[in-house]
């Protein structure tokens, strides 16, 4: 039986602080179930990223409700949202956003250390396991500037997976990668969905990548087209 | 290790040169504070030590702090009284009941007393008339309450006992009179009594103003000269515990009504000067730390700007504003602590270097200043603790301002900008 990981009800996001209010996302209703691989597509400026930030609780809707794992986030406090992001959501962005001062393994361990549920040894083992899983066994002790673009993005995905989240949100994760590395990233996503029953929501511009997802949601002018 | 702290450390490690400059700034602030405060405090303590060596710790004087009110005012306190033509009574001044006070104080173990009669007199020798402050003393008691015995360079204090007409002059006074030891001079009091006295001693207190005007003779002789038999007008007290002087003065004044002045009260204006010097020193140190603070503010603001991406990802991972604020605040505190430790080392070195300085000058307080054994530095753990606290507070404040800004950054804005 499908279990909704993300539910959006009449979600609207308007930038009211602007002189002329700009509506980024308008009246979105949609449900994404656990274990689904969803691609969000649409032209630039259509509101894909804004929708993703709303699902990721980085932004709050002006109207409507967002349910994550059955919890109404519109009522949640800032701290509760931080906790949800830490435990249930993993982010991957177009830019890898790795901390340049830290090694790959330290970057992967950051969310675990923030969560603080595992011992240092367990964190290290889990991080090594994740990196190994993504073919980065040898890169674990390297710093980001010693890694290729594709490797960095895979480290970023490993970091997103650190706390075993329910949902992986990827905002054009392949935007800075060549086709070979983009394929690797999407292979990883497929693997996460199939083997670990993760929910992956990714934004992509590439139609051939979008086709690999189980479902495509096309956004035009802030609405589902 | 704490996660936010380890991130802070990595950030500092990545900006070694700038961090080092800020650390140097803090170091200088702390070191100068320790050295300058040590120097000031050392000098102040030295002066006080010298002062209390030469002055009575408490003196009871033949005057009242507030003159007693007229009887009519006392009898009709609420009436409107117009009293005219009040004339002061011609009375013999001096401490009444001095014998009783002396007997009582004499039995105390913790204090030593010496009754004196101080007055003006002209010294005439070889056609010269020179005014002098003539002090009548009891040599045996005076020996215990002042350094007169020690300061005598020619003759001795005991000769006053063997020669009851003897007089002891300050070196400068003797020079003005051009008089030799053993010579006789005339002493003329304000009440017109003239006495021939023999010079039996010379003293050098080290304070030229004192030596040029002061003379000592037997208490009995001075009482006769001044026409004040059995009268004394001051009781000098020296104490074992000088810090108890104000309390003793207060009790004495309450008991005997006469004005009793502690050395702290006598030198109140000197303490005010010390206070002013301290203020100047503290503002100098504050200025150094302020400049160091600007350095810290600058390095952390730059780091915040440069690490916006890190802030964005940390926040999207689930780091709280507090975590982000701590990352940058810790950097300031680390700089502050490192600067403080280096400042302690440099400060200790400066203190020892200053302590080696030799110089001397003539002080305008009542003591000569000679630092032949090096500068009298004040050394105390509290200077180190105080300097450290000031440095760490100023670096924390300097770091807090950009840290707060970092914590308030909105991750979506940064991510959009980066994409």
> A24 exposed, middle or buried (CB, 10 Å; 0-12, 13-18, 19+)?
buried
CA nearest to A175 within chain B:
B419
The pLDDT of residue B369 is 53
CATH of the domain at A99: 3.40.50.300
Please indicate, yes or no, whether residues B287 and B228 belong to a single structural domain of this protein. Answer: no
- Read off the tokens for B15: 């900006």
| Count of Cβ atoms closer than 10 Å to residue A79 Cβ | 12
Phi, psi of A97 (to 5 degrees): 55, 40
Q: How many domains, in total, are found in chain A?
A: 1
Q: How far apart are the first and last CA of chain B?
A: 33
Mean pLDDT of B169-198: 92
Q: How far is B412 from chain A (nearest CA, A)?
A: 7
pLDDT at B350 over 90: yes
A9, A157, A182 from A217: Cα distances, Å: 15, 22, 20
pLDDT in tens, A155-207: 999 999 999 999 999 998 888 888 888 888 899 899 989 998 999 999 998 88
CB nearest to A93's CB, from B315, B318, B415? B415
Please indicate, yes or no, whether residues B202 and B106 belong to a single structural domain of this protein. Answer: yes
Mean pLDDT of B160-164: 88
Are A114 and B318 an interchain contact pair (Cβ–Cβ within 8 Å)? yes
The pLDDT of residue B371 is 57
CB contacts, 8 Å: A86 with chain B: 317-318
Are B309 and A97 an interchain contact pair (Cβ–Cβ within 8 Å)? yes
pLDDT at B324 over 60: yes
Please indicate, yes or no, whether residues B300 and B392 belong to a single structural domain of this protein. Answer: yes
| Count of Cβ atoms closer than 10 Å to residue B123 Cβ | 24
The pLDDT of residue B365 is 45
The residue of A97, A107, A174 whose CB has the most chain B CBs within 10 angstroms, and thus the best one to mutate to test that interface, is: A97
Q: How far is B35 from chain A (nearest CA, A)?
A: 39
B294 vs B292: CA distance, rounded Å: 5
pLDDT at B68 over 80: no
The residue among B182, B180, B211, B189 whose CA lies nearest residue B123 is B189
pLDDT in tens, B232-280: 999 999 988 888 889 999 998 888 888 999 988 888 888 898 899 889 9
Q: How far is A101 from chain B (nearest CA, A)?
A: 6
A206 vs A185: CA distance, rounded Å: 13
Please indicate, yes or no, whether residues B37 and B109 belong to a single structural domain of this protein. Answer: no
Please indicate, yes or no, whether residues B274 and B227 belong to a single structural domain of this protein. Answer: no
Among B29-38, B66-75, B100-109, name the one with the lowest average pLDDT.
B66-75
- What percent of chain B has a predicted confidence (pLDDT) above 70? 96
A37, A174, A182, B228, B303 from A208: Cα distances, Å: 15, 12, 11, 122, 40
- Please give the model's pTM, rounded to 2 decimal places: 0.74
CB nearest to A83's CB, from B7, B14, B318? B318
Q: How many CB pairs under 8 A join A and B?
A: 72
Please indicate, yes or no, whether residues B326 and B405 belong to a single structural domain of this protein. Answer: yes
The pLDDT of residue B360 is 62
Q: How far is A142 from chain B (nearest CA, A)?
A: 15
B406 vs B312: CA distance, rounded Å: 10
In a domain, B24, yes or no: yes
Please indicate, yes or no, whether residues B273 and B414 belong to a single structural domain of this protein. Answer: yes
pLDDT in tens, B336-348: 999 999 999 999 9
Q: Please report how the helices B321-355 and B3-13 are oriented relative to each other, as an axis angle in degrees rounded to 10.
A: 60
Taking only residues 132 to 161 of chain A, the set having a beta carbon closer than 8 angstroms to any beta carbon of chain B reads 159
pLDDT in tens, A22-58: 888 889 999 999 999 999 999 888 888 899 999 999 9
pLDDT at B94 over 90: no
- What percent of chain A has a predicted confidence (pLDDT) above 90? 50
Alpha carbon B358 to its chain centroid, in Å, reads 22
The pLDDT of residue B396 is 93
In which domain, by residue range, is B112 found? 94-232
Mean pLDDT of B221-241: 90
In which domain, by residue range, is A8 found? 4-224
Are A111 and B309 an interchain contact pair (Cβ–Cβ within 8 Å)? no
| Count of Cβ atoms closer than 10 Å to residue B267 Cβ | 19
Are B418 and A82 an interchain contact pair (Cβ–Cβ within 8 Å)? no
CB contacts, 8 Å: B316 with chain A: 56, 58, 85, 91
B294 vs A78: CA distance, rounded Å: 33
pLDDT in tens, B280-315: 988 888 888 888 889 889 889 988 998 898 999 999
pLDDT at A222 over 90: no
Phi, psi of B365 (to 5 degrees): -85, 180
> Per-residue confidence at B42, pLDDT binned at 50, 70, 90?
confident
- Read off the tokens for A45: 């400026």
B105 vs B379: CA distance, rounded Å: 37
More confident residue, A80 or B365: A80
Please indicate, yes or no, whether residues B215 and B330 belong to a single structural domain of this protein. Answer: no
B289 vs B30: CA distance, rounded Å: 8
The answer to whether A24 and A42 have CB atoms below 8 angstroms apart is: no
In a domain, B106, yes or no: yes
A216 vs B126: CA distance, rounded Å: 125
pLDDT in tens, A89-113: 999 988 888 999 899 999 999 999 9
> B374 exposed, middle or buried (CB, 10 Å; 0-12, 13-18, 19+)?
middle
pLDDT at B364 over 60: no
| Lookup result for tokens 């810090």 | B243
Mean pLDDT of B401-416: 89
CB contacts, 8 Å: B318 with chain A: 82-87, 111, 114-115
Please indicate, yes or no, whether residues B98 and B206 belong to a single structural domain of this protein. Answer: yes
- Please write down the HEC assignment for all residues of A196-224: HCCEEEEECCCHHHHCCCCEEEEEECCEE
pLDDT at B370 over 80: no
The residue of B1, B3, B408, B415 whose CB has the most chain A CBs within 10 angstroms, and thus the best one to mutate to test that interface, is: B415
Taking the Cβ of residue A85 and every Cβ of chain B, the question of whether any pair is shorter than 8 Å is answered with yes
The pLDDT of residue A163 is 92
Instruction: Please give the full DSSP string across B149-206, using - where no structure is assigned.
Output: HHHEEEE-TTHHHH-TTEEEEEHHHHHHHT--TT-EEEEE-TTS-EEEEEEEEEE--S
Q: How many domains, in total, are found in chain B?
A: 2
- What percent of chain B has a predicted confidence (pLDDT) above 90? 39
In a domain, B70, yes or no: no
Contacting A with CB below 8 Å, chain B residues are: 3, 7, 10-11, 13-14, 309-310, 312-320, 323, 411-412, 415-416, 418-419
More confident residue, B370 or A202: A202
Please indicate, yes or no, whether residues B302 and B378 belong to a single structural domain of this protein. Answer: yes
The pLDDT of residue A201 is 94
* pLDDT averaged over every residue in chain B: 87
pLDDT at A125 over 90: yes
In a domain, B244, yes or no: no
B30, B36, B390 from B377: Cα distances, Å: 16, 9, 21
A145, B63, B91, B205, B263 from B60: Cα distances, Å: 83, 9, 19, 23, 11
Q: How far is B2 from chain A (nearest CA, A)?
A: 9
Q: Which ipTM did the prediction report?
A: 0.90
| Lookup result for tokens 């509506």 | A23
Are B10 and A101 an interchain contact pair (Cβ–Cβ within 8 Å)? yes
The pLDDT of residue B357 is 79
In a domain, B238, yes or no: no
Are B317 and A110 an interchain contact pair (Cβ–Cβ within 8 Å)? yes
Taking the Cβ of residue A117 and every Cβ of chain B, the question of whether any pair is shorter than 8 Å is answered with no
CA nearest to A59 within chain B:
B412
In a domain, B23, yes or no: yes
CB nearest to A85's CB, from B7, B11, B317? B317
The pLDDT of residue B77 is 83
Instruction: Please give the full DSSP string across B42-94, using - where no structure is assigned.
Output: HHHHHHHHHHHHHS-SEEEESS-SSPPPPHHHHHSTTS--------------S
Please indicate, yes or no, whether residues B287 and B371 belong to a single structural domain of this protein. Answer: yes
The pLDDT of residue B366 is 43
SS3 at position A64: strand
CB contacts, 8 Å: A80 with chain B: none
């Amino acid at each position: 039986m499908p279990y909704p990981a993300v539910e959006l009800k009449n979600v609207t996001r308007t930038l009211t602080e602007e002189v002329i209010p700009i509506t980024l996302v308008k009246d979105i209703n949609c449900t994404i179930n656990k274990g689904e691989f969803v691609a969000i597509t649409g032209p630039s400026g259509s509101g894909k990223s804004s929708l993703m930030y709303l699902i990721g609780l980085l932004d709050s809707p002006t109207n409507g409700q967002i349910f994550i794992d059955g919890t109404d986030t519109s009522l949640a406090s800032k701290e509760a949202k931080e906790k949800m992001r830490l435990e249930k959501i993993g982010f991957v962005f177009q830019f890898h956003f790795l901390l340049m001062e830290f090694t790959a393994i330290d970057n992967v361990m950051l969310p675990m250390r923030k969560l603080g549920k595992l011992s240092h040894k367990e964190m290290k083992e889990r991080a090594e396991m994740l990196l190994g899983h993504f073919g980065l066994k040898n890169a674990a002790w390297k710093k980001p500037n010693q890694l290729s673009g594709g490797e960095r993005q895979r480290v970023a995905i490993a970091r997103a997976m650190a706390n075993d989240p329910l949902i992986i949100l990827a905002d054009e994760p392949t935007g800075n990668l060549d086709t070979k590395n983009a394929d690797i990233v999407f292979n990883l996503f497929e693997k996460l969905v199939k083997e670990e029953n993760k929910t992956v929501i990714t934004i992509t511009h590439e139609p051939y990548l979008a086709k690999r997802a189980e479902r495509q949601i096309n956004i035009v002018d802030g609405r589902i087209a | 290790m704490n996660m936010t702290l380890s991130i802070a450390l990595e950030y500092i490690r990545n900006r070694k040169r700038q961090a080092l400059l800020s650390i140097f700034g803090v170091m200088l602030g702390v070191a100068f504070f320790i050295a300058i405060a040590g120097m000031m405090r050392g000098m102040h303590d030295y002066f006080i030590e010298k002062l209390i060596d030469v002055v009575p710790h408490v003196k009871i004087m033949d005057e009242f702090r507030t003159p007693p009110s007229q009887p009519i005012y006392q009898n009709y306190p609420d009436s409107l009284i117009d009293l005219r033509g009040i004339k002061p009574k011609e009375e013999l001044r001096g401490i009444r009941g001095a014998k009783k006070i002396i007997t009582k104080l004499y039995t105390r173990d913790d204090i030593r007393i010496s009754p004196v009669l101080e007055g003006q007199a002209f010294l005439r020798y070889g056609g010269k008339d020179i005014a002098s402050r003539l002090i009548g003393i009891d040599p045996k008691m005076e020996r215990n309450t002042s350094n007169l015995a020690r300061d005598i360079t020619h003759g001795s204090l005991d000769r006053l006992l063997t020669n009851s007409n003897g007089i002891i002059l300050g070196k400068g006074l003797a020079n003005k009179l051009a008089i030799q030891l053993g010579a006789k001079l005339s002493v003329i009091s304000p009440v017109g009594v003239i006495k021939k006295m023999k010079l039996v001693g010379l003293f050098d207190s080290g304070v030229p103003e004192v030596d040029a005007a002061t003379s000592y003779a037997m208490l009995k002789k001075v009482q006769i000269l001044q026409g004040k038999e059995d009268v004394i007008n001051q009781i000098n007290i020296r104490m074992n515990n000088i810090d108890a002087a104000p309390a003793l003065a207060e009790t004495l004044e309450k008991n005997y009504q006469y004005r009793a002045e502690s050395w702290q009260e006598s030198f109140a204006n000197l303490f005010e000067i010390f206070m002013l010097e301290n203020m100047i020193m503290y503002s100098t140190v504050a200025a150094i730390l302020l400049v160091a603070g600007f350095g810290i503010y600058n390095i952390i603001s730059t780091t915040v700007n440069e690490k916006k991406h890190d802030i964005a990802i940390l926040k999207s991972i689930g780091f709280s504003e507090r975590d982000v604020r701590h990352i940058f605040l810790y950097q300031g505190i680390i700089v502050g602590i490192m600067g403080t430790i280096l400042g302690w080392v440099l400060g200790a070195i400066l203190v020892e270097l200053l302590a080696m300085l030799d110089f001397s000058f003539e002080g305008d307080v009542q003591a000569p200043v000679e630092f032949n054994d090096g500068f009298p530095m004040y050394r105390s753990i509290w200077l180190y603790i105080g300097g450290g606290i000031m440095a760490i507070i100023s670096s924390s404040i300097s770091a807090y301002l950009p840290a707060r800004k970092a914590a308030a950054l909105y991750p979506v804005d940064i991510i959009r900008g980066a994409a």
